[in-house]
A and B are shown apart, each in its own frame.
Chain A
Amino acid sequence: MRILCWPACLLLAALALTGGCSSQRTETSSLPAAKRIILLTNGNSPFWDTARAGLDAADDDLQLERDGFEAVLEVNDGTPQGQIDKLKQFASQRDIVAVGVSVIDAANVAVADEMKKLQDKGVHVVTIDSDVDRDKLRDARFAFIGTDNLAGGIELGTAARHLRPEGGQYVTFVGRTGAQNAIERVSGFKQGAGDKFEALDNMADDLDRTRARDNVRNAISNHRGLNVLVGIWSYNAPAIVDVVRQLNRRSDFTIVAFDAEPVAIKDMEAGFIDAMVVQNPFEMGYQGVRLMKALAQDDKATIAEMLPNSEGDGGDIYDTGLKVVVPDEDSPLQADLFGEKTEFLQLGDFKNWLAKYGLQGS
């Protein structure tokens, strides 16, 4: 059986080498007794890489190491069970002082219960990017940091309404329909698009990118009147564009989407996306760490600065802002069509903004 030994040993050596590399990094990054501030994602996407850049920037700017803290991004596997398991794991570790959660399902009581248990143990909990159901589970976290997703949905709907004044039929594509950000964006899109637009379907892919493409193919095949394709989560835009490109049917659809993955930016450059509503994950990561550190240090001044009206209605929300991005000056969309708080950018300006922070997407 000697013949079997060499390739297996080669692979084992490679695995050990890789493991060694990663453990070396972990050792150096978790120096003595640093208290951890954790950002737990809902799934995996370049969106979170940008949030990580914000987290790292906050780590430097706010001098976390000096104050005995360390900011860490933990990536969930895209399932509620994965998020519950991670939160349970956090509860068993004494070095964690604050957790920011991008809640995978707004109404998931099990996730909210784990967040409450963390709070009971003295760990500060906030939500980032996607909140819990604010009517029923608000007490599961201290505050929400992220986009006003309803407003974002309205802006995207407004863009669709002006791109297609005669109205249309649309399908929304999303990872999980139960996520609070998805619920609010879809609802906002309906409001912004107005009565001339009819919702045909809201299709979930459970974060499977192949399934995301299948959903677009099925929607196009099943609904003859479909003429507006709406990407709700970041990877939905590239999925929509891939299918439309393969079918060579660009002229049949208006394509609008949330977020700007690196591939989506290329797609807009190539003329395949009409408008993107872009969040600011960099700011979510940065401000999330800032608030969690302030909570851990009981820094009331910073908390009051970030949430000046924390007792009032909606005062527990820190809005990280929105951008509407259009391909170029020939777009029928103009800045005055959108809300005052929304930044309106052409793609070139948006790319300059990304370059300023060393980002590939947002």
Chain B
Amino acid sequence: MSPLRPKAFPLGWLARSEAGLGLAVVAVVLLTLLFDQQRTYYYLPELSALDVLRHTSMLGIFALGAAIVIISGGIDLSAGSVIAFSGTICATLMVFLAPEAMQKAEPLGAGVIILAVGGTLVVGFLIGSLHAWLITVIGLPPFIATLATLVGLRSLARAVIENVTLHAFGARTTQIQIFDQQFRALTTSVWLRAALFLMLAVAAWVLLSRTVVGRHLYALGGNEEATRLSGIRTDRLKWLAYALSAMLSSIAGIFYIGDQSVADPQTLARGYELNAIAAAVVGGCSLRGGIGTIPGTVLGCLFLRVVIDGIAKIIKTGADVYE
């Protein structure tokens, strides 16, 4: 199984290992230290690290899904919309389960939060299944199938919110405010999201590198026809890949609505699908499938984040222009 690592990268030995990407991360950090006049990384290392960790974890959670799909030879363009839709479903479930508490900004209770989160994950699984169904049963190319949900889910989320708030609160709104401090404390915690990202990354790494199913996913991405003729049920593998991708995006959606204290499907996670694909590709995943690693994807996320953070630190005034 040598094709697990990229070969066509132009930087020689660096390309054959995640060490190259790790060195690139270190180089960007050093350049930031050099050109940042306030030496923020030196004087405020903990704060800077937390900032990078906060964003890397969030991007990483749904980039893992993008990486699994890309390795299996597919593409998932729907991550941003799935995040927005899942966040909407989570808030909607909270409204269904505790309409008065949501309207009066009162605590929801652990039970409501657990049910809302659980329901959101189920919806994520269903969206992934829909993708797999469109691809394997209807025969749509992955690009088209996930493009359809990229376009449709955000609008559907708007419709869901308007209908639900009309029935629950008596007035239509285009977003649902999240006041619950318990939920917000959980979802804004850098350590929780970082720990979750780490666990998910380890689980994905084990799945892809240490299990038969993982090897089959690489084989599927490398040559689908040969894999199918070998007796492997490729449809089920695709189902697994797209379901995992959508569920990981759903987890990100739950964190985002807590972080922003609002479920606003129109603006939430717009364009994030490209960030996820970029992180996976920078991390060594080949868009042709069959090549890539989870550690590479994690480093890809870290690299993108330190570049963005470095620019903000160096530019200072007007940094928002370059994000």
A205 to B319, CA, bound (A): 11
* Chain B residues within 8 Å of A251, by CB: none
Q: Which of A45, A218, A358, A360 has the most CB of B within 10 A?
A: A218
| A15 interface hit (Cβ, 8 Å) | yes
| Nearest-Cβ distance from residue B28 to partner chain A, whole angstroms | 16
A360 to B179, CA, bound (A): 12
Q: Which residues from 185 to 232 on chain A have a C-beta closer than 8 Å to any C-beta of chain B?
A: 200-201, 203-205, 207-211, 213-215, 217-218, 221-224
Question: A8 contacts which of B130, B171, B270 (Cβ < 8 Å)?
Answer: B130
Contact indicator B40/A221 (Cβ below 8 Å): yes
A203 to B159, CA, bound (A): 32
| B132 interface hit (Cβ, 8 Å) | yes
**B: number of interface residues (CB 8 Å):** 57
A48 to B236, CA, bound (A): 45
Q: Which residues from 39 to 66 on chain A have a C-beta closer than 8 Å to any C-beta of chain B?
A: 43-46, 48-49, 52-53, 56
Grouping DSSP codes into helix (H, G, I), strand (E, B) and loop, the B interface class, with mixed when no group exceeds half, is helix
A345 to B47, CA, bound (A): 38
A3 to B233, CA, bound (A): 12
Question: B313 contacts which of A4, A44, A211, A222 (Cβ < 8 Å)?
Answer: A222
Contact indicator B174/A44 (Cβ below 8 Å): yes
| Nearest-Cβ distance from residue A268 to partner chain B, whole angstroms | 13
Contact indicator B175/A201 (Cβ below 8 Å): no
In the complex formed, the residue of A with least CB distance to B172 is A52
Question: B267 contacts which of A7, A53, A209 (Cβ < 8 Å)?
Answer: A209
* Chain B residues within 8 Å of A200, by CB: 317
- 9 tightest CB-CB pairs across the interface, nearest first? A8-B133, A7-B129, A11-B126, A209-B260, A49-B173, A44-B266, A22-B159, A203-B320, A222-B316
Question: A221 contacts which of B44, B174, B317 (Cβ < 8 Å)?
Answer: B44
| A242 interface hit (Cβ, 8 Å) | yes
Given contacts A7-B126, A75-B266, A222-B38, 14 further A-B contacts (CB under 8 A): A4-B239, A8-B137, A19-B159, A25-B163, A25-B166, A44-B174, A44-B264, A78-B267, A205-B320, A209-B268, A213-B260, A218-B313, A222-B313, A266-B105
Contact indicator A10/B320 (Cβ below 8 Å): no
In the complex formed, the residue of B with least CB distance to A222 is B316
A273 to B129, CA, bound (A): 45
* Chain B residues within 8 Å of A235, by CB: 262
Contact indicator A222/B317 (Cβ below 8 Å): yes
| Nearest-Cβ distance from residue B208 to partner chain A, whole angstroms | 22
Contact indicator B323/A211 (Cβ below 8 Å): yes
Q: Which residues from 92 to 148 on chain B have a C-beta closer than 8 Å to any C-beta of chain A?
A: 103, 105, 123, 125-127, 129-130, 132-134, 136-137
Question: A262 contacts which of B177, B321, B323 (Cβ < 8 Å)?
Answer: B177
* Chain A residues within 8 Å of B321, by CB: 204
In the complex formed, the residue of A with least CB distance to B43 is A224
* Chain A residues within 8 Å of B130, by CB: 7-8, 11-12
| A33 interface hit (Cβ, 8 Å) | no
Q: List 7 A-B contacts (CB under 8 A).
A: A8-B134, A11-B126, A18-B159, A19-B159, A49-B173, A242-B188, A242-B261
Q: Which residues from 254 to 302 on chain A have a C-beta closer than 8 Å to any C-beta of chain B?
A: 261-263, 266
| A146 interface hit (Cβ, 8 Å) | no
A72 to B137, CA, bound (A): 40
CB within 8 Å for A53 and B171 given contacts A75-B266, A218-B319: yes
Contact indicator A214/B323 (Cβ below 8 Å): yes
| A77 interface hit (Cβ, 8 Å) | yes
Q: Which of A18, A77, A209 has the most CB of B within 10 A?
A: A209
Contact indicator B126/A10 (Cβ below 8 Å): yes
A287 to B177, CA, bound (A): 27
CB within 8 Å for A4 and B320 given contacts A18-B160, A209-B267, A266-B105: no
| Nearest-Cβ distance from residue B305 to partner chain A, whole angstroms | 11
Contact indicator A8/B132 (Cβ below 8 Å): yes
* Chain A residues within 8 Å of B127, by CB: 11
A77 to B270, CA, bound (A): 10
* Chain A residues within 8 Å of B171, by CB: 49, 52-53, 56, 358
A358 to B166, CA, bound (A): 14
Contact indicator A210/B105 (Cβ below 8 Å): no
| B256 interface hit (Cβ, 8 Å) | yes
Contact with B along A1-26 (1 / 0, CB 8 A): 10111011011101100110110010
| Nearest-Cβ distance from residue B312 to partner chain A, whole angstroms | 5
In the complex formed, the residue of A with least CB distance to B309 is A218
* Chain A residues within 8 Å of B12, by CB: none
A222 to B311, CA, bound (A): 11
| A100 interface hit (Cβ, 8 Å) | no
* Chain A residues within 8 Å of B166, by CB: 25
Q: Which of B51, B179, B266, B267 has the most CB of A within 10 A?
A: B267
* Chain B residues within 8 Å of A52, by CB: 171-173
* Chain A residues within 8 Å of B259, by CB: 210, 213, 242
CB within 8 Å for A263 and B266 given contacts A213-B259, A218-B319, A238-B261: no
